[in-house]
Structure 1
Amino acid sequence: MAQKQETQIHEIGIPVQSVNWVHLHPGRNRKEAPCIYATMGQQADNLFVLQINPETGFSRQFVSEVPKSNYPTATFMSRTGRLYIGAAYAGHLLCFDPEKDTLEYLGAINPGGATFPCRIDEDSNGQIWIGSYGSADLTNFDPETGQFTRHGRMDDIDMYNYPLVNKDGSIACLIRMTRPHVVVFDPKTGEKRKVGPITTKGEDTIDLRRGIDGWLYIESSLGNFRIEGFEAVSVDTLPEPSHVTTSLPDGTTFVFADAQQLLYRKLETRKPDGETRTFTLNYEASGSDIFYVHAGPDGCIYGSSILPLHLFRYNPQNGELVNLGKCSSATGEAYSMANLDGKIYISSYPGATISEYDPTKTYNFGNQPGDNPRDLGRIDDISYRPRCTLAGPLGRVWTASIPDYGRWGGPLSYYDPTTGKKKAYYRICGDASCYTLAHLKDQNLIAAGTSISGGSGTQPKVKQAMLFLWDYETEEKVWEGTLDRPVSTFNALLTGTDGKLYGTVHGGDAPDELFVFDPESREFTNCIALPSGRPLDLGLQNGPDGKIYGFTNTCIYRLDSTLLTIEEIIRDSFSIAGPIVGQEVYFATGHRLRAVKLF
């Protein structure tokens, strides 16, 4: 393998500086005066708490010092006025104590088990109960002693636990994602039991909520139940939900007026007499990670931030970098994009939601004809993370997706812009998921690479990822095969200028490799070891020099498809592979958009 050459990276900028996992709570400050607390997450720095004066809008910002405490995924205002925060993906518990006027680190919730706190509740003795993702574990924290008691897994298979304290002091845990159900835990004895119906994700519905009478209730498509100890008592009607205080003592309510735009800068307060005031919050946001970078039909670079999803544009001609804002009803991130007839089709999480954007027209997001971008809704009922979007075959926009939480079998789907028709080929790869796509124009086929993964919260049911060829005219799979090595994911596919299919794979203990596939003979002809680092998803593209360019998380490399040799060009940190436009290749490192001149 050839050695890298000296090439300088150009820092373009930070396209999006926004926040996520935003929660508002009424509270009090050190002087016992009413205030508003906002918890906010971010990627380029740790989460923070804002203490806001409801009369002036003045705010104080407290940033967590715990490494990897980026997201306040679970928050709870206790009766004592302390604000508890479960931080992901550190899996730690934080607390803002108004008496101490500081954001405190309380400790790891369940080391090695809890990474993503799901819900926090408080019992009558002031004990704090936390359920988490990772191992569906349950932990309680004693504010008096500062000690954690870890009660372990509440389910042996599923990974998410959303606990609530019942009127009798027991803890009911809503377990998700594959077979959602409720487990009751008795703090006195340590006993746990499943109660009520056991549902199937995608077929049934279930939720756990507290009634106005203080008891917990299961609300499900299989019946409604009141939980009494370890019993689920069937009920005909559910009581009103318990009241949760969302206003200040004088009755003033508050919301983010710009929440629908995913901005969270305009705080609106409304007094009981109807007086409304709007404050612009002056906090510092460090930067939102970039999830996807794309070459638009207009020669500009487009991309998506993650949590929240904002579309951004960079114009290489004049250097303008613009946060365009909301482009989808999905609020997570755009997983992939494709160009067709001068428009960009944006495929986003959650829900594999498709948006259509015309860069030549005024930006005005909505879901009605004439809106731009226009939200077209979900592409099907199962797809959730549309890892790859391909435009062209039959004038359609095709997606390959990981399915919804708790489900298996990610489909191959399409949207036809001319007719508005959507169709999904469910179970096309069984319990695996369609992951990457490439158009084999000479053969009138789509090549699809799969992943063994199901939706979040599942364990793989298949052992080997596959490559298959799809005849889009006859709507049938005409070939399927895989490499003679462990493959968990075909994570990049590219049709080379020579008509052959190139791709990258990883899986098992085998080294990451780049493969060559001949679509005429339908054989894998070559495998080449990749440079150091993990191959990035969608990380291959054709260069203007006839070579193929690829990314790992530590380098950019060049493949000579004639000699089948790989040359490492530059080493750095790469998180998102981007396109080649002009003489430069674009990419992202965390929240920073960057480029390097290669041609």
Structure 2
Amino acid sequence: MGIYFDLGRPVIGGWFQGGWVLHDPVRGRDLLWGSELGQEGAVLFAIDVDSGHVVEEHRIGCREFNATPDPETGLLWVATNHGLFQPGHLLLSWSPHTRELTSHGFPPISGQRFAGTPFLASTGHIYLGSHPHGHLSSFEPETGTWRDFGCLAPEPIIPGQHIWCYPHAELESGEIACGITRDPTSNVALDPQTGETRQLDEMPPTAAKAEPTRDIRPDFYLAADYTVDGQKRTSDYKPRVATDIVGLNVGPDGKIYGTTIISMHIFCFDPVSRQLQDLGRVGWGGGEIYDVIASEDKVYMGSYSGGYWAAYDPKQPWDPQREAGGISPTANPRCFGELGQDMNRPFEYAIGPDGRIYIACRSNYRIPGGGLARFDPASEEIRVFRDEEQSFQSMTADERFVYGGTSISGGRGCVETTTEGRLVLFDVDAAARVFECVPIPGADAVTSLAVSSADGLVYGSVSSGQLFAFDVAERQVVQTWEMRSKGTPLMGVPETYGIIHLTCGHDGDIYGVTRKDVFQLNVSTGEIRYLDPPPISDLYQIVEGEPGVFYIGARGHLLEYHLQDRPHYR
């Protein structure tokens, strides 16, 4: 029997947003509203601009939300963009008279989430767009009624294509102008009286609304700081929300390095000193660092958005150089810039037989496919092997080949042209694919890959919840398994399907995690053994440190799992 240790939450307060300025007419205060977001639930808070004290704080049952202040009424309208385990499409409002959040429910739609911020029309109606089906809905506060106007995107509507609808402006005619994001993009005006739409050549500007007389700006980076008329101020807001672990790997110094969704932070755990440390936020971009990998004496990483590539030297002091965007020879971590060729989401990495790092990538929004990127640590040269139809979701390698798992998904909003994920063998000497196949028919993606050091087979998982074993010499799948639970769908990585993560242990067996199980695949017998139940579900990532000791992401927590319990002496 094994044992788990909950090592704690490595990154807290990694995801601040907001900066909505609103005058409270009841208390006569200027408030700066902010949000701390994460899969544990979000927090809406307000800072008294003059004192820096937090005067409002409200828990919201979602991962992410947006807001729009109404300076005429003092109301703050809040729309959830991501629920915790369901689409976010709940509308709330904060009133300076009650100092409470009131829920107004949601429109008569399902399987969609609100996109962007609430738009306040002169009639008092609140308009909200949605994703992935591009609907526009309205809420009338006086009657508390909703209306769904349907998908506003012009024909043709392609099944499966992601569509965003963003209400942007109100025309003199009373029409609501909306931006439609997909491939191709368009601008549409809706007549709320008739429900009819027409296309616009360009989007009209948003009407300016009265703001407080002072220049109040958020500086939500590592804390909820802000400026007033150019003067820097600090608040007493205390972060409390952890963001989910998305990347884990063993570093060159034996420590466990990892990243969390959205935060752009890196953390490490020292198995010797037992110290769990948030190293800090990197100096470039926003979004998330998807994973880390060690090569020689450095830890390399890729981030969304923009498809940036970077390196951290654990021997040198942490110095992200935010003012230079991390793009400086002395920055640590040091950013090398974008991978290029429209790569946007560098998911997973592997060290190829030539010592270079191979990177599984997805394209930018509205652009199909993705690619296999290559980084040479010696020359710092980057090359992208573009795939115009599919993205790469997973990556592993051995002394023979680099192995990539693909997904039918390209950048969100593009038109998907394929129907099944593939396993790709990439020859580093030829710099080309030499074989590919569909390992599990009907699966959208090959989500994780690992090579067994015992039998040399490539083991993989797919989005539909199966595992497979692939014989490289025979070029065929030789065995498959159906798991009793599927993988964890983590927002943005992507949430459309779960990922069963795999790793090869020191014993040559394959270890992995589903949403609620930790398992061992015995490569000699072909049997799957479900191991001790973890104390937290929603498992994501697994890597072995010392033999028989595994590190697992569980929501915002890092778990240490020993296959055999350690002896206790009295």
Instruction: Report the TM-score, using the length of structure 2 for normalisation.
Output: 0.88
- 1:412 aligns to 2:372 (yes or no): yes
Q: Per the alignment, do residues 423 and 176 of structure 1 end up closer, same or farther by CA in structure 2, a change over 3 Å counting?
A: same
Q: Which residue pairs with 1:116 in the alignment?
A: 114
Give secondary structure in 1 for the equivalent of 2:531: strand
Q: Which moved more, 1:130-139 or 1:46-55?
A: 46-55
- 1:396 aligns to 2:349 (yes or no): no
Do 1:513 and 1:529's aligned partners in 2 also have CA atoms closer than 8 Å?
yes
Among 123, 126, 129, which residue is 2:127 paired with?
Answer: 129
How much does 1:513 deviate? 2.4
How much does 1:185 deviate? 0.6
- The amino acid of 1:515's aligned partner reads F
How much does 1:484 deviate? 5.7
Distance in 2 separating the partners of 1:14 and 1:522: 42
How much does 1:424 deviate? 0.9
Deviations 1:533-579 (A, max 9, x none): 33764722221233221111111111221111111112231421221
- 1:447 aligns to 2:403 (yes or no): yes
Correspondence list, 1:435-584, <5 A: 435-441=393-399, 443=400, 445-458=401-414, 460-483=416-439, 485-498=441-454, 500-507=456-463, 512-534=465-487, 537=499, 539-572=501-534, 573-582=537-546, 583-584=548-549
Q: Which residue pairs with 1:585 in the alignment?
A: 550
Q: Which moved more, 1:373-382 or 1:519-528?
A: 519-528
Do 1:555 and 1:574's aligned partners in 2 also have CA atoms closer than 8 Å?
no
Do 2:447 and 2:463's aligned partners in 1 also have CA atoms closer than 8 Å?
no
How much does 1:401 deviate? 1.2
Among 237, 250, 255, which residue is 1:295 paired with?
Answer: 250
- The amino acid of 2:411's aligned partner reads G
Correspondence list, 1:250-329, <5 A: 251=214, 253-257=215-219, 259=220, 262-270=221-229, 276=231, 278-327=233-282, 329=284
Deviations 1:153-187 (A, max 9, x none): 11245520111222332111100122111111111
Q: Per the alignment, do residues 397 and 140 of structure 1 end up closer, same or farther by CA in structure 2, a change over 3 Å counting?
A: same
Do 2:500 and 2:515's aligned partners in 1 also have CA atoms closer than 8 Å?
no
- The amino acid of 1:87's aligned partner reads T
Give secondary structure in 2 for the equivalent of 1:411: strand
Q: Per the alignment, do residues 61 and 312 of structure 1 end up closer, same or farther by CA in structure 2, a change over 3 Å counting?
A: farther
Deviations 1:15-74 (A, max 9, x none): 111153612222233624132231304225433332222221111233245x4x231234
Do 2:246 and 2:541's aligned partners in 1 also have CA atoms closer than 8 Å?
no
- The amino acid of 2:21's aligned partner reads P
Q: Per the alignment, do residues 146 and 476 of structure 1 end up closer, same or farther by CA in structure 2, a change over 3 Å counting?
A: same
How much does 1:289 deviate? 1.9
Deviations 1:504-524 (A, max 9, x none): 33356xxx3222212122122
* Paired residue total: 535
Distance in 2 separating the partners of 1:459 and 1:10: 44
Deviations 1:227-252 (A, max 9, x none): xxxxxxxxxxxxxxxx4555x23x2x
Do 2:3 and 2:563's aligned partners in 1 also have CA atoms closer than 8 Å?
no
How much does 1:456 deviate? 2.0
Q: Per the alignment, do residues 328 and 178 of structure 1 end up closer, same or farther by CA in structure 2, a change over 3 Å counting?
A: farther
Give secondary structure in 2 for the equivalent of 1:210: coil
Do 2:363 and 2:370's aligned partners in 1 also have CA atoms closer than 8 Å?
yes
Do 1:120 and 1:130's aligned partners in 2 also have CA atoms closer than 8 Å?
yes
Q: Per the alignment, do residues 371 and 244 of structure 1 end up closer, same or farther by CA in structure 2, a change over 3 Å counting?
A: farther
Distance in 2 separating the partners of 1:347 and 1:328: 13
- The amino acid of 1:471's aligned partner reads D
Distance in 1 separating the partners of 2:239 and 2:107: 28
Distance in 2 separating the partners of 1:361 and 1:209: 50
Q: Which residue pairs with 2:381 in the alignment?
A: 421
Do 1:558 and 1:566's aligned partners in 2 also have CA atoms closer than 8 Å?
yes
Q: Which residue pairs with 1:192 in the alignment?
A: 197
Superposed CA RMSD: 2.2
Distance in 1 separating the partners of 2:447 and 2:483: 13
How much does 1:138 deviate? 0.8
- 1:369 aligns to 2:329 (yes or no): yes
How much does 1:282 deviate? 2.4
Distance in 2 separating the partners of 1:479 and 1:113: 38
Do 1:550 and 1:558's aligned partners in 2 also have CA atoms closer than 8 Å?
yes
Q: Per the alignment, do residues 579 and 571 of structure 1 end up closer, same or farther by CA in structure 2, a change over 3 Å counting?
A: same
Q: Which residue pairs with 1:432 in the alignment?
A: 390
Deviations 1:414-466 (A, max 9, x none): 12222232111112xx412122222131x3x2121111112223453211211
Identity %: 24
Q: Which residue pairs with 1:331 in the alignment?
A: 286
- The amino acid of 2:476's aligned partner reads E
Give secondary structure in 2 for the equivalent of 1:287: coil
Do 1:586 and 1:596's aligned partners in 2 also have CA atoms closer than 8 Å?
yes
Distance in 2 separating the partners of 1:39 and 1:280: 11
Q: Which residue pairs with 1:166 in the alignment?
A: 171
Q: Per the alignment, do residues 475 and 244 of structure 1 end up closer, same or farther by CA in structure 2, a change over 3 Å counting?
A: farther
Q: Give 4+ residue runs of structure 1 displaced > 6 Å after superposition.
A: none
How much does 1:152 deviate? 1.5
Give secondary structure in 2 for the equivalent of 1:368: coil
